[in-house]
């Protein structure tokens, strides 16, 4: 036997710009992002816009055209901005991805050309996936337009579409060329999507940054009331923590089993499926991290006070901590939510590894779950949901979620 050992290291580098009013003609951020390598010639680009965003901001595609026209010496828009259906449904059909692939090929984009995607996490995933297939990967400049996408999915290195009944089953690792987080784009979000990203911030704070966690608890009400400056701080810190994690984990392309940023997600993903996606991802994550934090308390690795602060913070931010789907039990069978553990185990290749908080701002992995104990935690969350008596939050509890 003869073995030739091959080792390749490929560095990836991408800037994340934080700005406001990115399509204002005086704002250089997007132009800079597209032209950041200062190559000769004009930067050719095709732009895809989330149709849900375009419905809320009908002037947006026109503003994109004006921007490219204003900077035409350096930028060239190869076609009018294309609308892409927004939300999870867009990821459910391969046809959408194929349509985007075809559109990119029709414009003869080469590997130096850029695909600009303006939209929520679903559209970023879908267009990013298609763009990563064409010529084995075009440059993608993302303008995330939801809180979740600005602080989490939009600054990450993954793309995916759903396949069969499984979420994110088919996808690629494809770091973006640049990301432009424009806080003003969040203004048109419905409350559900505004709040959804707050859950991801609590998630990452509780396992990585105690100070940020306390800050979130203190500012939960301001966040729910849509204070723009507070949200800008949340997005910036949360994006920073994600970038740090991807850079510092030693496993940016998730070859190992550890998935710290999936804290709370085994039940969250299952809640989404059990509710047929009526429950939004962020809302499901809120309940999922509350559940796993309750479990961490019972394991003795999280002070009860931290759990109380978390639940109070989530409720004050207008997020739920419990859904009836958590307690759904098919006749004579275990709770339906526990299928989420099996799905997660399978996704990780057979061995379960769940990240739980270990003190505030730190984490520890566990490999076994005591189902009766987890069942008790579900009952406890139901109690919390029912008992929470702050006037500010009562209307935001699951009854109205």
Ligand X SMILES: NC(=O)c1ccc[n+]([C@@H]2O[C@H](COP(=O)([O-])OP(=O)(O)OC[C@H]3O[C@@H](n4cnc5c(N)ncnc54)[C@H](O)[C@@H]3O)[C@@H](O)[C@H]2O)c1
Residues that bind ligand X (CB under 6 A): 50, 52-53, 56, 86-88, 91, 119-123, 125, 145-146, 148-149, 152-153, 156, 158-160, 168, 185-186, 188-189, 193, 196, 281
Nearer to ligand X, 147 or 377 (CB): 147
Please return the burial class of 295, using the count of CB atoms within 10 Å of its CB with bins 0-12, 13-18 and 19+: buried
User: Residue 78: which of 121, 112, 119, 27 has the closest Cα?
Assistant: 112
Work out how close the CB of 162 gets to ligand X at its nearest, in angstroms, rounded to a whole number: 8
Q: Contact 100/84 with Cβ under 8 angstroms?
A: yes
Work out how close the CB of 225 gets to ligand X at its nearest, in angstroms, rounded to a whole number: 18
Distance CA 194, CA 147 (A): 6
Work out how close the CB of 149 gets to ligand X at its nearest, in angstroms, rounded to a whole number: 4
Torsion of CA 251, 254, 259, 262, to 10 degrees: 130
**3-state DSSP helix/strand/coil % of the chain, to nearest 5:** 50, 15, 35
Work out how close the CB of 367 gets to ligand X at its nearest, in angstroms, rounded to a whole number: 24
Nearer to ligand X, 20 or 42 (CB): 20
Nearer to ligand X, 191 or 346 (CB): 191
Nearer to ligand X, 81 or 86 (CB): 86
Give buried/exposed letters for 125-164 (b at 16+ CB in 10 A, else e). Answer: bbbbbbbbbbeeebbbbbbbbbbbbbbbbbbbbbbbbbee
Integer-rounded Cα radius of gyration of the chain: 21
Nearer to ligand X, 198 or 374 (CB): 198
Nearer to ligand X, 252 or 375 (CB): 252
Work out how close the CB of 121 gets to ligand X at its nearest, in angstroms, rounded to a whole number: 2
Work out how close the CB of 248 gets to ligand X at its nearest, in angstroms, rounded to a whole number: 17
Helix, strand, or coil (residue 332): coil
Q: Contact 148/121 with Cβ under 8 angstroms?
A: yes
User: Residue 48: which of 114, 135, 134 has the closest Cα?
Assistant: 114
160 half-sphere exposure, CB direction, 13 A CA radius: 14
Work out how close the CB of 179 gets to ligand X at its nearest, in angstroms, rounded to a whole number: 12
Nearer to ligand X, 43 or 139 (CB): 139
Q: Contact 353/260 with Cβ under 8 angstroms?
A: no
Distance CA 55, CA 50 (A): 9
Work out how close the CB of 288 gets to ligand X at its nearest, in angstroms, rounded to a whole number: 13
Nearer to ligand X, 182 or 325 (CB): 182
Work out how close the CB of 74 gets to ligand X at its nearest, in angstroms, rounded to a whole number: 27
Nearer to ligand X, 172 or 312 (CB): 172
Q: DSSP for 150-199, please give it.
A: HHTGGGSSEEEEEETTEEEEEEEE---SEEEEEGGGGTT--HHHHHHHHH
């Amino acid at each position: 036997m003869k073995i030739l050992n091959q080792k390749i290291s490929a560095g990836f580098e991408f800037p994340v710009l934080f700005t406001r009013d990115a399509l204002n003609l005086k704002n250089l951020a997007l132009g800079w992002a597209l032209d950041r390598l200062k190559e000769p010639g004009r930067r050719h680009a095709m732009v895809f816009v989330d149709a849900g965003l375009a419905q809320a901001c009908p002037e947006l595609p026109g503003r994109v055209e004006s921007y490219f026209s204003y900077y035409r010496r350096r930028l060239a828009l190869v076609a009018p901005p294309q609308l892409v259906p927004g939300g999870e449904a867009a990821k459910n059909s391969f046809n959408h991805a194929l349509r985007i692939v075809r559109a990119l090929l029709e414009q003869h984009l080469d590997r130096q050309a850029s695909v600009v995607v303006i939209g929520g996490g679903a559209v970023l995933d879908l267009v990013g996936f298609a763009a990563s297939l064409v010529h084995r990967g075009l440059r993608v400049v993302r303008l995330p337009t939801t809180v979740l996408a600005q602080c989490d999915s939009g600054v990450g290195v993954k793309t995916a579409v759903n396949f069969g009944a499984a979420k994110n089953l088919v996808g690629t690792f494809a770091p973006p060329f640049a990301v432009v987080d424009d806080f003003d784009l969040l203004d048109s979000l419905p409350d559900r999507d505004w709040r959804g990203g707050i859950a991801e911030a609590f998630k990452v704070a509780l396992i990585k940054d105690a100070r940020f966690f306390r800050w979130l608890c203190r500012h939960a009400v301001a966040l729910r009331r849509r204070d723009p400056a507070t949200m800008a701080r949340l997005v910036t810190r949360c994006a920073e923590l994600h970038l740090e994690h991807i850079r510092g984990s030693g496993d940016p392309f998730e070859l190992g089993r550890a998935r710290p940023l999936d804290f709370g997600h085994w039940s969250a993903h299952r809640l989404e499926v059990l509710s047929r996606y009526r429950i939004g991802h962020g809302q499901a994550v809120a309940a999922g991290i509350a559940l796993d934090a309750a479990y961490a308390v019972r394991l003795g690795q999280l002070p009860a006070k931290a759990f109380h602060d978390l639940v109070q913070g989530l409720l004050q931010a207008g997020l739920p901590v419990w859904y009836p789907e958590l307690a759904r039990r098919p006749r004579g069978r275990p709770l339906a939510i526990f299928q989420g553990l099996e799905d997660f185990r399978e996704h990780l290749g057979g061995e379960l590894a769940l990240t739980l908080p270990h003190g505030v701002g730190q984490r520890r992995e566990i490999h076994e779950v005591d189902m009766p104990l987890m069942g008790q935690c579900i009952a406890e969350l139901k109690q919390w949901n029912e008992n929470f008596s702050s006037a500010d939050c009562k209307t935001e509890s699951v009854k109205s979620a």
